[in-house]
Amino acid sequence: MGKDKSEKSGYQLKVPKGTKDWDGKDMIIRDKIFSTIKEVFKTYGAVTIDTPVFELREILAGKYGEDSKLIYDLADQGGELCSLRYDLTVPFARWLAMNSNIKEIKRYQLDKVYRRDQPAMTKGRMREFYQCDFDIAGTYDPMLPDAECMSITCEIFERLGWQGKYTIKINHRKILDGIFQVCGVPEEKIRTISSAVDKLDKSPWADVRKEMVEEKGLAEDVADRIGEYVVLKGGVDLLERLQKDERLSTNESAKAGLADMDLLFKYLKIDGVLDKVSFDMSLARGLDYYTGVIYEVVTEGSAPQSASTDAAPEKKDAKPKKRSTNSSTATDADEDRSNDPSVGVGSIAAGGRYDNLVSMFSGKQQIPCVGISFGIERIFSLTKARLAATASTTTSSQRTNETDVYVMSVGGNGLLAERKKIVRRLRQAGIKSETAFKEKPRFDKQFKDMERTGVPFALILGEDELKVGKCKIKRNGAPEGDPEKEGVVIALEGLESEVARRIGDWYREQEVAETAGKLDLVRTGFA
């Protein structure tokens, strides 16, 4: 037997670990997520920019705290040491520093980023993935831009049909720093202890405490005092409780953070999104550049299916294996953990305020910034799981394209010229249409193609109807007794307006049948 092509070429034909190809129905869903997010960004007045996929290594160095080990470094090319971008925030800050004439901007960017993390592919945890960022740069009255980011977040998930099934966890770096200070954390350990606290969404307090004490050298009594605060969560009630805390009231950092949160909550109430927010003291966000409000968006699928609650987990779970940027020495970190019940999707969007990042590049120019980043792969993962769970109750096929009309023929000669002319007329009228690439297509094959792709309408051309300036329109999946199930005769004159009207009626019916606000998602089977 001959060797297959991959053996002859000397390499295995596959994509790198932590990456994948996208096609078919998955791309339809992803495209709708992208277009929905982009439309909201534009609604809020943002403009877009584009930055290189790799940056000078020194630009990225020292900006991500302990996560810096996940940066992909590139080989020396032409005397420059470069790395693949880890996120879109640091490149944006670098861009602002290089364009000193820009003092204020609302910016969005949808691009791929790269992280040498352990993948869990079906849960949206990948090494190459898209981020969709919205940022507001400039000096404005306190907390107004921050509230805008919260409003954008809620609008995006409502337009995606999540119907309030998400929570924005929110905290403030200055409050956290104040807590660490009054609890007795040495100044040089604040950032590393903050990174430990940030793991509370995945690990119980006992594990986090153990890391603080055994790995990071924090005194046990200091860790216990921190534990009194970081387990707290709530809303305005928690804010009022912290404002009355005697220890925090003497700390300037905590007082400033609490004042910001008080103002932010007032704006969120005005914007009608306060009920989506949870004031969560365990949220720390491990990245070093955050200076103020921080937030993450979670939903039911964000948490792992199961998590250890033991006070003393096995040693192999207590300390993650060291990751390396050298793929040849990072075998354990390369394994896909999609089937690991202790791994969840995690946050589906996250961000915060970073007022000092631009000045780190410019040396003098201080441009306050706040923003949020949406993780497409994680949003997609949860969306696809929801579609799979509801597939048995869905009455119509999921769309695999956005074609609204399939022009077909009945009879032996195929009517190719007539079909192409009708398709051209419809497309010129802005109606998404197609026809079979066959001179004489079989009638049953045309219907199968239409049903397979989920096209809602068929326009059927027959010789007898064409002679009298008519054709027939049939709605795919129409209920029994509906005249459109077998087809309705309509005139070729004014065809475009008649077809457009019927398509419009169909989408409005979908909106009524499902939930207000989900019309845009019917095309892709979201509803």
CA 483 to CA 310: how far, in whole Å? 63
Please state, as a whole number, how many other Cβ atoms lie within 10 Å of the Cβ of residue 387. Answer: 17
Task: Assign 232 to helix, strand or coil.
Answer: coil
Q: Is 229 annotated as a binding residue?
A: no
Number of helices followed by number of strands (H, E) in the chain: 21, 16
Q: Is 398 annotated as a binding residue?
A: no
Q: Is 295 annotated as a binding residue?
A: no
Task: Assign 420 to helix, strand or coil.
Answer: helix
CA 170 to CA 275: how far, in whole Å? 12
Q: Is 288 annotated as a binding residue?
A: no
* CB-based contact 317:380 (threshold 8 Å): no
CA 279 to CA 264: how far, in whole Å? 11
Please state, as a whole number, how many other Cβ atoms lie within 10 Å of the Cβ of residue 193. Answer: 23
* CB-based contact 265:150 (threshold 8 Å): no
Say if residue 244 is exposed, middle or buried (CB neighbours under 10 Å; 0-12, 13-18, 19+).
exposed
Question: For residue 497, what are the CA distances in angstroms to 491, 493, 510?
Answer: 11, 9, 20
* CB-based contact 95:363 (threshold 8 Å): no
Task: Assign 200 to helix, strand or coil.
Answer: helix
Q: Is 131 annotated as a binding residue?
A: yes
Alpha helix (H) residue ranges in 84-143: 89-98
Q: Is 285 annotated as a binding residue?
A: yes
* CB-based contact 117:127 (threshold 8 Å): yes
Q: Is 89 annotated as a binding residue?
A: yes
Which residues are annotated as part of the binding site? Answer: 87-89, 115, 131, 135, 285, 289-290
Which residues are annotated as part of the binding site for L-histidine? Answer: 87-89, 115, 131, 135, 285, 289-290
